Amino acid sequence: MSLTILGCHSATPRTFAHPTSQYLEINNRRFLIDCGEGTQVQLRKYKIKFSTIGHIFISHLHGDHFFGLIGLISTFGLLNRKNDLHIYAPTGLKEIILLQLKTSNSWPQFDIIFHELTSSKSELIFEDDKMEVFTIPLEHRVYTNGYLFKEKVGERKLNINAIKKYSEIEICDYQNLKDGKDFVKANGQLITNEQLTFNPNKPLSYAFCSDTVYKPEITSIIKKVDLLYHESTFLKDRQETAVRTKHSTAEEAAKIAKEAKVGQLILGHYSSRYEDLNLFKKEAETVFDNVTLAKEGKTIKIDSKIPDELIIAHQN
Amino acid sequence: MSLTILGCHSATPRTFAHPTSQYLEINNRRFLIDCGEGTQVQLRKYKIKFSTIGHIFISHLHGDHFFGLIGLISTFGLLNRKNDLHIYAPTGLKEIILLQLKTSNSWPQFDIIFHELTSSKSELIFEDDKMEVFTIPLEHRVYTNGYLFKEKVGERKLNINAIKKYSEIEICDYQNLKDGKDFVKANGQLITNEQLTFNPNKPLSYAFCSDTVYKPEITSIIKKVDLLYHESTFLKDRQETAVRTKHSTAEEAAKIAKEAKVGQLILGHYSSRYEDLNLFKKEAETVFDNVTLAKEGKTIKIDSKIPDELIIAHQN
């Protein structure tokens, strides 16, 4: 799993401070999360092959989270994209995008499938054989969702040393073993799957939470994710402003991370009022240990977690 | 008069190739012409005090000429702009902008006055005491206008040496002289204005023409402008593509410049197919002498033209 920060500042784009956008590669799926103005330029700058992005998730309809989408779609059109593009966003974005394509008389050759979100409860919005994506209902000045990206449990790992002891087991049986099935010998003797395989890799998960006031109710949804991005527009010196504008402080983001027992916390969506971003890290670290600052162009990689017994087997 | 190129490439924004936008200062008026994605970042990059822009002119509703407008308007809102903003554009842009402001629930505190253009003839769309702006009807795949910015004739210049000969002329009479009035002495003797003043500065003018197929009919509108920007998306090696996509070649842009007897030609809106932009200059120079290549961040200055007799007076 690899997350690249394309922009992590709040509100107005500046030369070195782009609004929110993230590119997530997980299990060979490529997702774009939010798309502030200039996102297509950031994708080029960081040499991301963005033509393979199939699904775009927009948290809410404030400009710093979606003004770059129409430009990206137009560029897909100019690049002769053929594959479907799925867009998950609050109701309203579809009308905005279609009006602009109609007015500029530039319908692309590919289909755009809008998934308009309205629910205030967490729901499954994307699923294939390897991944699930859920909404994380947030609370901001307009209807807002975070997104939870979860790998499904993968195949069991073959224990080749154990398998070799049984000459009856052939290569054509391997997929059944990976699928968790026991092996039955010709004489009817059963060899349980646990004797022949290791547990699968632990599925990875990423939760994106922006923009939102401090909302501890989300911790049950994002419990134990490997990686959590949680907005921290302010430090606690501006707690009142955070509440009024429905944003979070670095301390509050860390409280969410701690309560949800996540692996790593990424902070971002910094207000332009702050020059020294290290203050965000320091404030969060008073509550939670593993804190990273989002920074344009930074890529955070999380390796698949190999099950403990496989590590032990390798060591022996 | 000073023109700053914020972007001069066609179609999709890239890291070092921004779509069309220009900032024009003329007679203390500040105008923005076209507003491709990322224009607000370019304005910051080139340290332009963009809060004083009062009038924005959009040539046509292809994305590379207007996708940056909604972001700029939002930023004006965040910066607490109070002054009216006038937008001159084809019908359709108003609906696009208002829909986005409504959906994101972020109405700015200032008024936006849309001037929706529909005419296929040149018309006066802006006038104050010092300036006039006219449309230049162009021919592209969608309804498109260029814009002609013209200074009005200014005040006459006082000929101080001549005035000093007449002790009856007091400072409170100067404005009348600047306005072209003759002076009448107490004894009824008339001193003609020509004896006391020089001609005013020659008014400056700038014509912006993008995007368009070669359209010689516009030369009568832009006759003898000091500065002409004319798109040259292609070289003549792609004449056919130019005709089909309703764009111009560098040679055609130069023909317009020559026919209209303009002072200086600026080329731009280069297709990304070309790596060596100097080829555009070379091709145009086979037809017209004074050719400049638009380049991001380049500022082209034209000084007010001092009337000949004032230069002679200074030399004596």
* Per-residue model confidence as pLDDT tens digits over B208-262: 999 999 999 999 999 999 999 999 999 999 999 999 999 999 999 999 999 999 9
CA B8 to chain A, closest CA, distance in angstroms equals 15
CB of A43 closer than 8 Å to CB of A71: no
Which pLDDT value is given to residue B124?
98
Cross-chain CB nearest to A44 (options B15, B95, B141): B15
Q: What is the mean pLDDT of residues B15-23?
A: 89
Euclidean distance between CA atoms A54 and A75, whole angstroms: 14
Cross-chain CB nearest to B78 (options A12, A41, A95): A12
Positive or negative: CA dihedral B273, B278, B283, B287: positive
**B64 catalytically annotated:** yes
CA A108 to chain B, closest CA, distance in angstroms equals 13
Q: Is a pLDDT exceeding 90 seen at residue A180?
A: yes
Q: Is a pLDDT exceeding 70 seen at residue B116?
A: yes
Could you tell me the two tokens for A241?
């402003």
Which pLDDT value is given to residue B113?
98
Q: Is a pLDDT exceeding 70 seen at residue A257?
A: yes
Cβ contact, residue pair A92, B106, below 8 Å: no
A68 has a chain B CB within 8 A of its CB = yes
Q: Is a pLDDT exceeding 70 seen at residue A147?
A: yes
Give the three-class secondary structure for A98: helix
Mutate to test the interface with B, among A61, A74, A118, A211 (most CBs of B within 10 A): A74
CB of B31 closer than 8 Å to CB of B55: yes
| Contact list, B13 vs chain A (CB under 8 Å) | 38, 40-41, 71, 75
A91 has a chain B CB within 8 A of its CB = no
What is the Cα Rg of chain B in Å?
22
DSSP string covering A75-97: HHHHTT--S-EEEEEETTHHHHH
Positive or negative: CA dihedral B32, B38, B41, B45: negative
First to last CA, chain A: 28
Angle between helices A93-103 and B93-103 (to 10 degrees): 170
| Contact list, B79 vs chain A (CB under 8 Å) | 12
Q: What is the mean pLDDT of residues B45-63?
A: 95
Q: Residue A53: exposed, middle, or buried by beta-carbon count in 10 A (0-12, 13-18, 19+)? A: buried
Euclidean distance between CA atoms B205 and B179, whole angstroms: 22
* Per-residue model confidence as pLDDT tens digits over A78-124: 999 999 999 999 999 999 999 999 998 889 999 999 999 999 999 99
Euclidean distance between CA atoms A233 and A252, whole angstroms: 11
| Contact list, B106 vs chain A (CB under 8 Å) | 62-63
Give the three-class secondary structure for B200: coil
* Per-residue model confidence as pLDDT tens digits over A194-208: 999 999 988 999 999
Cβ contact, residue pair B63, A70, below 8 Å: yes
| Contact list, B105 vs chain A (CB under 8 Å) | 141-142
Preceding omega of B211 cis (within 30 degrees of 0):
yes
DSSP string covering B201-226: PBPPEEEEE-S----GGGGGTSTT-S
Which pLDDT value is given to residue B316?
58
Report the half-sphere exposure of A68 (CA within 13 A, side-chain side): 31
CB of B1 closer than 8 Å to CB of B24: yes
Cross-chain CB nearest to A38 (options B38, B79, B106): B38
Q: Is a pLDDT exceeding 70 seen at residue A287?
A: yes
Cβ contact, residue pair A142, B11, below 8 Å: no
A positions 114-143 inside 8 Å of B (CB): 141-142
Average pLDDT, chain B: 94
Q: What is the mean pLDDT of residues A113-142?
A: 97
Catalytic residue among B34, B64, B276, B308: B64
Which pLDDT value is given to residue A16?
74
Q: Is a pLDDT exceeding 90 seen at residue B15?
A: no
Which pLDDT value is given to residue B315?
65
Euclidean distance between CA atoms B29 and B56, whole angstroms: 12
Cβ contact, residue pair B12, A74, below 8 Å: yes
A75 has a chain B CB within 8 A of its CB = yes
Q: Is a pLDDT exceeding 90 seen at residue B314?
A: no
Exposure class string for A136-166: b at 16+ Cβ within 10 A, else e: bbbebbbbbbbbbbbbeeeebbbbeebbeee
Q: Is a pLDDT exceeding 70 seen at residue A13?
A: no
Q: Is a pLDDT exceeding 80 seen at residue A309?
A: no
Which pLDDT value is given to residue A306?
74
* Per-residue model confidence as pLDDT tens digits over B150-166: 999 989 999 999 999 99
Residue type, B240: E
CB of A145 closer than 8 Å to CB of A90: yes
Residue ranges per structural domain of chain B: 2-154+200-309, 157-198
Give the three-class secondary structure for A229: strand
The CATH label, of 3.90.650.10, 3.60.15.10, 3.10.129.10, 3.40.50.300, for the domain at B2-154+200-309 is 3.60.15.10
Give the three-class secondary structure for B5: strand
B105 has a chain A CB within 8 A of its CB = yes
Angle between helices A93-103 and A69-78 (to 10 degrees): 50
Which pLDDT value is given to residue A230?
98
Euclidean distance between CA atoms B173 and A245, whole angstroms: 59
A71 has a chain B CB within 8 A of its CB = yes
Residues of A designated catalytic? 64
Q: What is the mean pLDDT of residues B36-53?
A: 94
Which pLDDT value is given to residue A315?
65
Give the three-class secondary structure for B182: coil
Instruction: Please give the DSSP secondary-structure letter assigned to residue B165.
Output: T
Helices (H), chain B: 39-45, 69-78, 93-103, 160-163, 174-178, 193-196, 239-244, 250-259, 278-285, 308-315
| Percentage of chain A exceeding pLDDT 90 | 89
Nearest to B97 by CA among A100, A266, A132: A100
A108 has a chain B CB within 8 A of its CB = no
Cβ contact, residue pair B15, A41, below 8 Å: yes
CB of B182 closer than 8 Å to CB of B109: no
Cβ contact, residue pair B71, A99, below 8 Å: no
Binding site members of A: 60, 62, 64-65, 140, 211, 269
| Contact list, A99 vs chain B (CB under 8 Å) | 95-96, 99
Residue of B nearest to A69 (CA): B67
Euclidean distance between CA atoms B233 and B272, whole angstroms: 9
CB of B4 closer than 8 Å to CB of B23: yes
